[in-house]
Amino acid sequence: MKETVAIGGMTCAACAKRIEKAVGRLQGIASATVNFATEKLSVEYDEQQIVMEAIEKKIVDVGYNVLREVTKSGATIPIGGMTCAACAKRIEKAIGKVGGVLSVSVNVATEKATVSWDPRVAKLSAIRNAIEEAGYQALTPEKSGAVDEDRLRKEREIRTLKIKFVVAAIFGVPLLYLAMVPMDPIVQWLWWLPFPSILRPMNYPLNYALAEIVLVLPILVVGYRFYTVGFRAFFQGSPNMDSLIAIGTSAAVIYSFYSTWQITTGDFAAVDRMYFESAGVIIALILLGKTLEAISKGKTSEAIKKLMGLAPKTAIVIQDGKEIEIPIDEVEIGQVLLVRPGGKIPVDGVITEGHSAVDESMLTGESIPLDKKAGDRVYAATINKNGVIRFEATKVGSDTALAQIIKMVEDAQGSKAPIAQLADVVAGYFVPAVCVIAVVAAAAWYWGTLSVPFALTIFISILIIACPCALGLATPTAIMVGTGKGAEYGILFKGGEALETTHRIDTIVFDKTGTITEGKPEVTDVVTAQGTDRARLLRLTASAEKGSEHPLASAIVRRAEEEKLEFLGVENFQALTGLGIEATIEGSHIFIGNRKLMTEKGVSFGDLEGESDRLAEEGKTPMYAVVDGKLAGIVAVADVVKKSSAEAIRVLREMGISVAMITGDNVRTAAAIAGQVGIDRVLAEVLPQDKSNEVKKLQAEGRRVAMVGDGINDAPALVQADVGISIGSGTDVAMESADIVLMRSDLMDVPTAIQLSRSTIRNIRQNLFWAFAYNTAGIPVAAGLLHLFGGPLLNPILAAAAMSLSSVSVLSNALRLKRFRPQRS
Amino acid sequence: MVEKTAKILSLFVILTVLTVKNADAAFNTDVVGRSAVTSFAALLEALPAVPGADEGVWVLAAPDGGARFAWRRDVSDARVWDVFIRFDARPFVKAGLDLSKLPDGVAFGDEIVLGSRLSPGPLSYEGEVTPLASFEQIVRLDRASVGYHAALDHYGVTVSEGSLFEWAKDMGTNDKDMVFVLNPKIFIDAGVDPAKVEGWAFAPVPVEDDRGRKFEADKFLKPFDLK
């Protein structure tokens, strides 16, 4: 069983590690991965050995919250038949009895019931039934909507953080002013601001200390989470970022209280040893950093929000011949839905009535609307352009193609790239190591200076500047933006590992049929013998082939239809297995088939011999048409190359990537196609089961291979390759086997995927560099290394500012990925 | 949240009450003022004050007789200065002082007087009017004129801008039990070569301004160890 749990209260990568460790130790857990950026735990467990409640309890035990992602639905239902306030009560009671109803309020004056419910438990229809059963009429809901609780929760979190920061700033600024003004010459420019004489530190030291206590108190109250979570983690042996903040600021506060006590005993010089402002301003700055972090984190998941926003909120269902608008959650499989021109298709289904052009660009990226008629499939969130269609719902809720895409992107965003392991390992040891460094450095300085305040400054500065939050954010935020950006381009990375591995690819193997080519034979040439009309030849061959089920025959029939040629009556149709067909049309005896058939029938090629050879050279399949014993012409059929194939391969080669083509076709055909698109390495006549071996051989040469394919026969090779890429027109098996799914059939998305991977990994490296740089450069400075050689000493407040800045800079850098654009030359 | 806030507030109240030690301190946070009176009492014990020639003042004379600190019994009745120091002008004259260049009201024959008025206010003597009781009036009526000088571990009464009379917070541990501190500016402006003033040390002293900013200022110092 695999589940995802939203977690609250995490502040750094160490928190994520801590939860992973705690949950991972439980019996029955196969894997537990926490993504710090999405704040979600992905856990795989054996239901026989452990229940979800036990996992959630463990999370709470180690100091974090399990957030229930309840999606709340709501509607305002006009009610008929109400006469008095008692009716309102009665209806409220009736609705309230429906399981899953979260709130209900009936207004007598407006005669409307405002109801919210958990859509997993209750349905609007059940609520309406309850109203009807109570003796009233439940009219069509005027407005309904689903509320994304997760989004609201995040907005609430940002709002709370903002309020906390504002409170901290309101008290922090005067606190800092009080502490800084006596410091000459730092704030001499503040000379014009008043400074109450009863707070002069040397004349009224106790007043001064009490004023600082009064000012720091609200800041510590709004920052209480750092202490509750931090100390709990510390005492449980897994210190995290909160622990560093809690220990550092607590040391400052406790020592300041000690100084205050010393003032009361007559040691007035102790007023110079107060650090309340350090604690207060550190908390304020970290709250500011956390606020900016929460806002930026929200932006990293905008792509998924866009995808979620594509789905319409309501659907029109045909019930008893009437059109009824219902919430999307209420749609059930088998219901017939109606979509008007310009409307969004609410769920996946099959058209039963009507025809229209449907814009599927939001799913496939394909900008040209597709014509759809009865029997064709339609997908949720696509737009019905110009006709009224009715369709039967076949997939609803989490089963729709859109929901599957969202899930795939969410899973990818929640997964960890191998590069993240490094950051995780470092973060895991980082905090305890920092605690040790802080204690050792402070002790050394105390031994050297015998000054408790100096040693304390060192201790606090190290703890504060070394908070590893930037380290924790470096990888997941870039992956979130990268995978989200990929989704915008119709490129679905199935995980962080795929995203990371893709940037290393140096060789790409393309399957031919359906990947480089359209996968659908088309008529490419119609060559006529002297005295034969082209249209006549095509008309005859198409009419004769209409009875055949061979793909090559279909191509000829399709071409005739495209050219709007009229079909002729066919008599005596006969398929000649492995050779072709024969038939009689308008009294003429016709043979259509391959060279072997021509040889058997002793037909001379005459002038067309050269044309026949040319077509074969080009990898096309010539079909010879013989009318009344004489060769009338050749219709050549071939699987044509996609428009973008050659361009995509050129771009890939420019990117320094070797390109190969793999196919079961004969060498001649394969070479012809390869020549058209610019591929020089051709692996031809490869049996489906041997495709993966060919990939393996390339890997044995030390290459990092990506395989691009679409068919079931490509699946083993997709799995064998370092990165398997399936294209949009491909089979479900290919998509299952692939690491990257291209939603369109456009091969230009292959270089785009590699470019995006390269950009993302570059971004991750930059993030990791900055995160490590802040910490590795910051710790020696905070430890007083520069001071040892006559340089400056890092003020704990500046340490807090630098630490907050590190997270914000890493997030800002990750957000730069949103500006990614594929390079085409 | 409310419960946690209450817990934190309670913790702070307890810590604050504990740190301010006792209820009296909790209500009277002027620890410097209180302690200044106590230590001044110790000074008076070591060097008793006497009524001045002018019946209205108490005088604390330096052991060498070269300087005196005086404070008025009834500040509301002050005619000239409520607190002042008076010292021999001759060492300064020998060092180049031109008495005529001193500000008005400073030079009195062979003596120099630096003093100031205090904020007049209602007097509230309880019991006998003693030197200590009069000093307590100064602390009560013009607390700003009494300060703590951390660098020397002294209390001091400002008698004019930059000039003070200081005494040790703890005479048992301080080798400068009583110090006359002069702002040298008016003297240097009047021709004094600071290095040549006999009986007065000229040295930089860490001080702080009225905003609590610390800096070093040159001062004439006449310290006395009363032990």
Structure tokens, A389:
């269609």
Classify the C-alpha dihedral A155-A158-A160-A163 as positive or negative. negative
Supply the pLDDT for residue A83: 60
Q: For B91-139, how does the pLDDT look when each residue is reduced to its tens digit (9 = 90+)?
A: 999 999 998 899 888 888 889 999 988 776 666 777 888 899 989 988 8
Task: Supply the pLDDT for residue A147.
Answer: 41
| B8 in reach of chain A (CB within 8 A) | yes
Q: Confirm or reject contact between A163 and chain B (CB < 8 A).
A: no
| Close Cβ partners of A425 (under 8 Å, ≥ 6 residues apart) | none
What confidence tier does A146 reach under pLDDT thresholds 50, 70, 90? Answer: very low
Q: Does B26 touch chain A (CB under 8 A)?
A: no
pLDDT tens-digit readout, A742-790 = 888 888 999 999 999 999 999 988 988 888 787 778 888 889 888 888 8
Task: With both helix axes pointing from N to C terminus, report the angle between A469-488 and A418-449 in degrees, rounded to the nearest 10.
Answer: 160
CA A732 vs CA A122, A401, A408, A411, B6: distances in Å = 33, 12, 14, 18, 59
Residues B4-47: tens digit of each pLDDT: 666 666 766 666 666 555 545 556 788 899 899 999 999 999 99
ipTM of the complex: 0.82
The per-residue pLDDT for A84 is 60
Tell whether A31 is within 8 A of chain B (Cβ). no
The CA distance from B100 to the nearest CA of chain A, in Å, is 36
Q: Is B24 on the interface with A (CB under 8 A)?
A: no
On the question of pLDDT at A625 being above 70, the answer is: yes
Q: Lowest mean pLDDT: which of A525-529, A764-768, B78-82, B137-141? A: B78-82
| Catalytic-role residue among A348, A511, A639, A722 | A511
Residues of B within 8 A of A191 (CB-CB) are 211
At A255, the pLDDT band (50, 70, 90 cuts) reads confident
CB-based contact B29 A206, cutoff 8 Å: yes
User: One-letter amino acid identity for A86?
Assistant: A
Q: For chain A, what is the mean pLDDT?
A: 82
**In the structure, what pLDDT confidence band is assigned to residue B54 with cuts at 50, 70 and 90?**
confident
Q: What residues in A contact B13, CB-CB < 8 Å?
A: none
Q: Is A75 helix (H, G, I), strand (E, B) or coil?
A: strand
> In this predicted structure, what is the pLDDT of residue A660?
93
pLDDT at site A299: 67
Closest-CA distance, B222 to chain A, in angstroms, reads: 23
Flag whether residue A202 sits within 8 Å of chain B, measured between CB atoms.
yes
Report, as an integer, the average pLDDT of A731-737. Answer: 65
Asked if B216 reaches chain A (Cβ–Cβ under 8 Å), the answer is: no
- Rounded-to-10 torsion of CA A130, A133, A135, A138: 50
Mutate to test the interface with A, among B24, B29, B207 (most CBs of A within 10 A): B29
**Quick one: pLDDT at residue A228?**
84
Report the share of chain A in percent with pLDDT over 90. Answer: 15
Residue of B nearest to A210 (CA): B16
Quick one: closest CA in B to A265, which residue? Answer: B21
| A193 to chain B: closest CA residue | B211
Q: Which string of DSSP letters, residue by residue, matches A186-226?
A: TTGGGTTS---GGG-TTTSHHHHHHHHHHHHHHHHHHTHHH
pLDDT mean over A584-593: 89
Q: Which residue has the higher pLDDT, B2 or A505?
A: A505
Contact with chain B for residue A260, Cβ under 8 A? yes
Interface test with B, best of A188, A198, A212, A221 (most B CBs within 10 A): A221
For residues A416-426, average pLDDT:
70
Average pLDDT (A230-239) is 78
Count A/B contacts: CB-CB distance under 8 Å: 96
Beta bridge partners of A637: A523, A621
pLDDT at B89: 93
Instruction: Give the amino acid at A248.
Output: G
- Closest-CA distance, A453 to chain B, in angstroms, reads 17
Using the beta-carbon criterion (under 8 Å), do B208 and A182 form an inter-chain contact? yes
pLDDT at residue A142, as a whole number = 47
Chain position carrying tokens 């490419």: A524
Best of B2, B15, B19 to substitute, by most chain A Cβ atoms within 10 angstroms, is B19
In this complex, is the C-beta atom of B104 within 8 Å of any C-beta atom belonging to chain A?
no
Tell me which residue of A824, A823, A825, A771 sits closest to A802, measured CA to CA. Answer: A771
Question: Quick check: B31 and A205 CB within 8 A?
Answer: yes
B23 in reach of chain A (CB within 8 A): no
Write the residue in A213, A221, A268 that is nearest to B8 by C-beta: A221
B26 Cβ contact list (under 8 Å, min separation 6): B17, B20
Residue contact A265–B211, C-beta within 8 A: no
Identify which has the larger pLDDT, A121 or B196: B196
pLDDT over 70 at A93, yes or no: yes
Q: B123 or A247: whose pLDDT is higher?
A: A247
Hey, what are A657's tokens? 């990537």
Q: Which chain B residue lies closest to A190 (C-alpha atoms)?
A: B211
Q: Which residue of A has its CA nearest to B154?
A: A268
Residue A195 touches partner B, C-beta closer than 8 Å: yes
Contact (CB, 8 A) for A379 and A408: no
Q: Which of A149-158, A613-622, B211-220 has the lowest mean pLDDT?
A: A149-158
- Nearest Cα of chain A lies from the Cα of B8 at a distance, in angstroms, of 7
- CA of A204 vs chain B CAs: smallest distance (Å): 6
pLDDT in tens, A437-455: 999 999 999 998 878 888 8
Chain B positions touching A207 (Cβ under 8 A) are 29-30
Helices assigned H by DSSP within A576-638: 595-601, 609-617
Chain B contact present for A204, CB below 8 A: yes
Residue A785 or A552, more confident: A785
Both tokens of A592, joined, read 């259509």
Work out the number of other CB atoms within 10 angstroms of the CB of residue B173.
8
**B152 pLDDT above the threshold of 80:** yes
* Per-residue model confidence as pLDDT tens digits over A783-796: 988 888 888 878 77
- Find chain B residues with C-beta within 8 A of A202's C-beta: 32, 147-150, 208, 212
Please, which residues 152-171 of chain B have a Cβ atom closer than 8 Å to chain A? Answer: 153, 169
Query: To the nearest whole angstrom, how far is the Cα of A176 from the nearest Cα of chain B?
Result: 14
Mean per-residue pLDDT for A252-272?
86
Work out the percent of chain A whose per-residue pLDDT is above 70.
88
Does B32 sit within 8 Å of A268, measured CB to CB?
A: yes
Residue B32 contacts A where some CB pair is shorter than 8 Å: yes
The pLDDT assigned to A789 comes to 87
- The amino acid at residue B207 is V
Q: To the nearest whole angstrom, how far is the Cα of A205 from the nearest Cα of chain B?
A: 8
State pLDDT tens for residues A182-193: 665 555 666 667
What pLDDT is attached to residue A328? 83
How much is the pLDDT for A779? 87
Most A CBs within 10 Å, among B28, B148, B153, to test the A interface: B148
Residue A143: pLDDT band (50, 70, 90) is very low
More confident residue, B19 or A530: A530
Q: Is the CB of residue A266 less than 8 Å away from at least one CB of chain B?
A: yes
Which residues, numbered 171 to 190 in chain A, qualify as contacts with chain B under a Cβ-Cβ cut-off of 8 Å? 181-184, 188
Q: Which residues of chain B form beta strands (DSSP E)?
A: 50-51, 57-61, 67-72, 83-88, 107-108, 111-116, 146-149, 154-160, 163-168, 178-182, 201-208, 214-224
- The per-residue pLDDT for range A159-214, each reduced to its tens digit, is 999 999 999 999 999 998 888 776 655 556 666 677 788 888 888 899 999 999 99
The alpha carbon of residue B175 is apart from the nearest alpha carbon of chain A, in Å, by 18
Task: Answer with the residue of higher pLDDT: B205 or A518.
Answer: B205
Please report which confidence band the pLDDT of residue B184 belongs to, taking 50, 70 and 90 as the band edges: very high
Reported as a pLDDT band with limits 50, 70 and 90, residue B59 is very high
- Catalytic: A242? no
Q: Cβ–Cβ of A207/B30 closer than 8 Å? A: yes
Can you tell me the distance from the alpha carbon of A228 to that of A250, in angstroms, rounded to the nearest whole number?
12
d(CA B141, CA B134): 11
Q: Which two tokens stand for residue A446?
A: 């105390």
pTM of the predicted model over 0.95: no
A628 pLDDT above the threshold of 80: yes
Is B8–A263 a contact, with Cβ atoms under 8 angstroms apart?
no
